[in-house]
Each structure stands twice: as C-alpha cells, then as structure tokens.
Amino acid sequence: MYALVDGNNFYVSCERVFRPSLNGRAVVVLSNNDGCAIARSNEAKEMGIKMGAPWFQIRHLEQDAGLVSLSANFTLYGDMSDRMMTLSAGLGPTQEIYSIDESFVGLHGVRGDLVARAHKVRSRILQWAGIPTCIGIAPTKTLAKLANHISKSAERKPGSYPPALAQVCNFAALPAQDLDDVLGATEVGEVWGVGRRVAKQLQDGGIHTVLDLARMDPATIRRGWSVTLEKTVRELQGQPCIEMDDAPGPKQQIACTRSFGQPIYELGPLVEAVSEFAARAAEKLRKQSSLANELLVFMHTSPHRSGPQCSRSMVVPLRRPTDDTLALTQAAADSMRRMYVAGYSFVKAGVMLMDLQPGNVHQQELDLESLAATETAAVARDRSQLMSTMDAINVRYGKGTVHSVSNGRTGPERMLGMKQERKTPQYMSRLEDVPVARA
Amino acid sequence: MTSIFGIDTPQPLAATPLVLCMPEGHVRAGFPSPADDFAVNRLDLTQVLVKHPQATYLLRVAGNSMREAGIDDGDTLVVDKAVKPRHGHVVVAVVDGEFTVKYLHQRAGSMRLKAANPTFPDIVPKEGQTIEVWGVVSSCIKRFLV
C-alpha cells in the first residue's frame, strides 16, 4: 500500500501561514520574474485563473477583483516543504519525496485503520506546519496519486465525488462498486503518466474515463501504445509496477535558464548571463558528483511581444567530461559570442548540461597529442580542489561570493537580476525578517 | 588520476607536493585526561529552546502590552505550534489578520486574550467570531547590547 501526501495550493498555503490576512482572499504566486501564475488559492481558481496564466493577462484582477499576487519565495517554500515532508514520513516506514509538495509513503506493515491514521497525520501537518494537505491511499502509486486527486476534488468541489472521500481517500477501503463509480467519473487525462497527447489518443479510441482504461487488456495497450502505458494500466488494476524510489537517481540533464528582468540587446550582458547560468549548473553538477559531456546554450526573443523574433541555440561537445566551472563558463561564453546577433531584444537565455556521467568513471585516453598543444595549461590542471573550495565559500558566505569574472557584477545592481517586486520576507532564514507579533 | 602502476612515460619526481596528514586527535605525552570518561556533548541552545523543530517558528515582538510578563518590544519569541493552547499560556493569536501576543484566558467556555499591562483592554471575540490561536509561546529571547 502507498499513500501520496500532497500540499494543497502549496506555495499559497506557505504564504498564508505567515500572513493570515491572506486567508479567504484570492492569491496567486508568480514564477521567477513575475512571469506567470504557478500557484493559485481556491478563490483564485474560482475567478477562472488558469495554472500558468501570464501575469499581464490577469493583472487587471488586482484592481477589479482584489486579487493578491506574490513573487515566488522559494527559500520559504523549501523550509516549509522540509517540515511537511518530515511530518508526512510519520505515516509509514518508507518515503519518496516526489516534488516540493508531494511525497509517497510506503505503508507496508502498517496495521490498523489507515484512514484514521492518515487523518491524524494530516491534522498534525496542518497544526504544526500550517499547511493543508490531502492524502490518497491505494495498492499502487498510480492509484494513490489518483486517490489524492479525488480527495482534493471532493474537498474543493462538493458534489464531484462522495464527500466522505474529501481530504483522505483510501481506494482499498472502498467497496468494488463504489471504486468503479469513482473511476468512471474521472477523466482518463487525470491519470499519472497519461499526458495530454496520449489522453487525446485514448479518447479518440473511445477510452474516456479511468475505468475504461483500467478495463483494457495490458497486452493490447502495449501493442497500441507503449510499455509505459501498459505499466500504468497494470497499476490501475492494482498490480504494483512502479517501485518506491527512496533515493532519486542523479539527474540526466541539468538546466539553468531564466527570463530577464528586462530585455537585453547587447552581447556583454548576455555573456554575463550565460556565464552565471553555467556556473550555477556546474555547482549542481558537482553536488550530484557527475560530469557533463555536452553543453547547450540558447537564447530567444519574446513570442508574446511584437517585433523581430530570433531564437538560437548551440550545442558544444566538451573536450573531456568535466564539472569545472571555469571550463563550462568558458564554453558557454564562447558559444554565446558565436551565436549572438545584434538587433533583437532577447528576453530569455539558458544553459543546459547534457550527456551526464558519474564522476568516478574516467575514460582512459591515448596520448596522441600533448595536453599543452590542445588546451592551455590552466585548463588541463586538476581544479577539483579549487571547485570544492569555491562551493564551500559560496555556501558559507552566500551565493556568488566568489565567481568567475565573466559573470560580471553580482548583487542587486545586476541588470538581469530577477524581477521580484512582490516577494514576501525571508521569514525563517533572516532574523531581521521574522514575522512580527503585536503586543 | 594517474595510477601508480603502469606508468610508461618518465614522470618527474614529486610532481605534486607531498602532503603529510595530521593524525586525528591529540597525541598525549603525559597522563590521559581524567575528563575523557565523562565527556558528553555541550549543551545546545537549540535543543534547550526547541522541542518540536517542525512546529517551531521565531517571531518578533512589537509593542508593550506584555511588559509585565517580561515580554518587551523587540524581543524574539519562540513559538511552538505543536503545543495545545491552554488557559494561562502566552499565545500568538490571529486578530484581524495580524499576529498578536497575549495571555490566553479560557474559563467557563468563554475565551479572551489578556494583556500583561493594565492599560490594554482584553480582546474578546465578537458574537459569532472565533479567535484563532496560531501557536504557543515557549520562550522569549531578550538580547542586550554587548
């Protein structure tokens, strides 16, 4: 048995813990650079604001309907997530943290009334961390995720499902007929692992509800679609195919991309931007002890604005797999210089490290050319000590304390610094920012 | 990494500086310390002040209504949301969407918030209104100029 514990409107709920005046109001949290809505309170959902709605499209609701919008405060959400995850883990013996606001908990060997236990954990998370959650319980992870979706819908939209399933929904405790009714009332697109395209294909093939999909023959699905979808069908039938993944494997790609606070026309700031992105990505790369074989750099203009459009990208194969900030920054800056074209207003750029390999694997090389001939002596030198020292300094004294010169200026005066006009304070990580209690 | 074995090209001697590691701990020349058997961890202030780490938050006091409880303007409160609020606790409550720190007074089914300063009136929930207790204050940190 598995449980999926998921925070309701997580980012908004985090903000509300420290600003109770936001309770009952329509609130959205905006993505980096205040681009689009990435979390919505129920009241905001009722206004018809869609997930990912661009800020400029919903901005008028601030005046017209009292919408409150906040810049994302990921430091705060990370801390609250940590509290929520630790408390969720009390539900069973194993836990897989799936995202910032959801975790699977393995319930193997847990005896007694699972629904009552889940309600207890749920109210503890609400009391201790102040975050409302919903919990789905089922024999497989795919079903647990679906049960979670149903517990949320039953709470938020009365009438969509039986009210008893609100907040905590245990499929295993439902009579077979009731479970069929629930699955029959749920669209196939809600299933974990069924994307928009596959959902469309399934619907065209007459498979509309989750129940329709669960009744399919796995072999037919494998022939018609894929092994992945077959797994999903088996999971819907109650046969576990997706194991608990306690320690997520290292990422296969590491990206660092960002929209600029304001459009950039010149080469200089673009080089600074991708240098900084490469340095960030390199830091993440070292954290998971991997090496990159390729680096991709891209930039583009805004598709939402009129004016000439330009979108460019370049993949740089690296001479040797590396996690060296200076080598990666160099590669990113060089490719930016090569692909830059004047006359466009670029709004976004990014760096992606690809073809990653474990750091402890080394390809032996035939010494056909001397190192000095292909690279400068500086690049060939082992700089792992320098890199770990740099990481340590930046952890201790704050991001960007030491960086390569090509990153340009750092700190608030930076041109591409994020636009975060509506960010709440660092309630839990800066003593000057802790919330105030009137006395 | 170059392995020690299988070097087939001449290598300069001591190509990298040889670093001697310090052995861990101290090498004692005299008697072993008589305190060794009694070594325990030093008191950790976090452990003293924080009972439920997942439920503990810091808040800053603004105002003088709790002066007689020893809570002054500018003090830092340690607030534990895991503790069930009871009569007599110093609590952080939500009043009109703002945090306020007061004594919780719960008697005969009625609830009010009391200040520790006679110039401040009690806060009594209006008809049909409830006051939400956000957390219980477990400590007050007062810092002096040093």
| HEC string for chain A | CEEEEEECCHHHHHHHHHCHHHCCCCEEEECHHHCEEEEECHHHHHCCCCCCCEHHHHCHHHHHHCCEEEECCHHHHHHHHHHHHHHHHHHCCEEEEEECCEEEEECCCCCCCHHHHHHHHHHHHHHHCCCCEEEEEECCHHHHHHHHHHHHHHHHCCCCCCHHHCCEEEHHHCCHHHHHHHHHCCEHHHCCCCCHHHHHHHHHCCCCEHHHHHCCCHHHHHHHCCHHHHHHHHHHCCCCCCCCCCCCCCCCCEEEEEEEEEEECCHHHHHHHHHHHHHHHHHHHHHCCEEEEEEEEEEEECCCCCCCCCEEEEEEEEEEEECCHHHHHHHHHHHHHHHCCCCCCEEEEEEEEEEEEECCCCCCCCCCCCHHHHCCHHHHCCCHHHHHHHHHHHHHHCCCCCCCHHHCCCCCCCCCCCCCCCECCCCCCCHHHCCEEEC
Q: Are A436 and B79 in contact (CB under 8 A)?
A: no
Report which DSSP code applies to B76: E
B18 compared with A33, residue with greater pLDDT: A33
**For position B127, which CATH number holds?**
2.10.109.10
What is the residue-averaged pLDDT of chain B? Answer: 84
Residues A241 and A316 reside in one and the same domain? no
The answer to whether residue A54 is domain-embedded is: yes
Q: What is the pLDDT of residue B1?
A: 44
**A385 interfacial to chain B (CB closer than 8 Å):** no
Q: Are A421 and A34 in contact (CB under 8 A)?
A: yes
The answer to whether residue B72 is domain-embedded is: yes
Distance CA B123, CA A354 (A): 61
**Number of domains composing chain A:** 3
The answer to whether residue B21 is domain-embedded is: no
Burial class of residue A203 in the structure, from the number of CB atoms within 10 Å of its CB (0-12 exposed, 13-18 middle, 19+ buried): middle
What are the residue ranges in chain A where pLDDT is below 50? 377-379, 411-413, 415
Distance from CA of A215 to the nearest CA of B (A): 43
The answer to whether residue A123 is domain-embedded is: yes
Q: Provide the ipTM.
A: 0.75
Q: What is the pLDDT of residue A21?
A: 94
B62 pLDDT higher than 60: yes
**A439 interfacial to chain B (CB closer than 8 Å):** yes
Buried residues in B23-32 as b, exposed as e (16+ CB within 10 A): eeeeeeeeee
Please report residues of B whose CB lies closer than 8 A to that of A81: none
The answer to whether residue B115 is domain-embedded is: yes
pLDDT tens across A111-153, in order?
A: 999 999 999 999 999 999 999 999 999 999 999 999 999 999 9
pLDDT-based confidence at B19, cuts 50/70/90?
Answer: low
Q: What is the pLDDT of residue A104?
A: 95
Q: What is the pLDDT of residue A412?
A: 41
The answer to whether residue A417 is domain-embedded is: no
Residues A293 and A387 reside in one and the same domain? yes
Task: Measure CB to CB from residue A437 to each of B92, B97, B115 and give the nearest one.
Answer: B92
Task: Measure CB to CB from residue B58 to each of A87, A362, A434 and give the nearest one.
Answer: A434
Q: Given B3, B33, B51, B65, which residue is catalytic?
A: B65
Residues A353 and A399 reside in one and the same domain? yes
Q: Which amino acid belongs to residue A287?
A: K
Residues A290 and A391 reside in one and the same domain? yes
The answer to whether residue A29 is domain-embedded is: yes
Q: What is the pLDDT of residue A252?
A: 76
Q: What is the pLDDT of residue A126?
A: 97
CB contact under 8 A, B82 and A127: yes
Residues A210 and A347 reside in one and the same domain? no
The answer to whether residue B19 is domain-embedded is: no
**Number of domains composing chain B:** 1
**A76 interfacial to chain B (CB closer than 8 Å):** no
Q: Which domain covers residue A189, as residue numbers?
A: 175-248
pLDDT-based confidence at B2, cuts 50/70/90?
Answer: very low
**B133 interfacial to chain A (CB closer than 8 Å):** no
**A438 interfacial to chain B (CB closer than 8 Å):** yes
Q: Which residues contact A283 (CB under 8 A, 6 or more apart)?
A: A325, A391, A394
Q: What is the pLDDT of residue B37?
A: 76
CB contact under 8 A, A437 and B73: no
The answer to whether residue B56 is domain-embedded is: yes
Q: What is the CA radius of gyration of chain A?
A: 25
CB contact under 8 A, B101 and A438: yes
Distance CA A180, CA A178 (A): 5
Residues A7 and A126 reside in one and the same domain? yes
Q: What is the pLDDT of residue A118?
A: 97
**For position A402, which CATH number holds?**
3.30.1490.100
Q: What is the pLDDT of residue A25?
A: 95
Q: What is the CA radius of gyration of chain B?
A: 29
Q: What is the pLDDT of residue A416?
A: 52
Q: Examine the fold and report which residue of A149, A170, A191 is the final residue of a domain before the chain moves on.
A: A170
Q: What is the pLDDT of residue B8?
A: 57
pLDDT tens across A347-381, in order?
A: 889 999 988 888 877 777 666 655 555 555 444 56
Q: Which domain covers residue B93, as residue numbers?
A: 45-141
Q: Which residues contact A352 (CB under 8 A, 6 or more apart)?
A: A253, A254, A255, A256, A257, A281, A295, A296, A298
B48: part of which helix (H) or strand (E)? helix B45-49
Q: What is the pLDDT of residue A223?
A: 92
The answer to whether residue B120 is domain-embedded is: yes
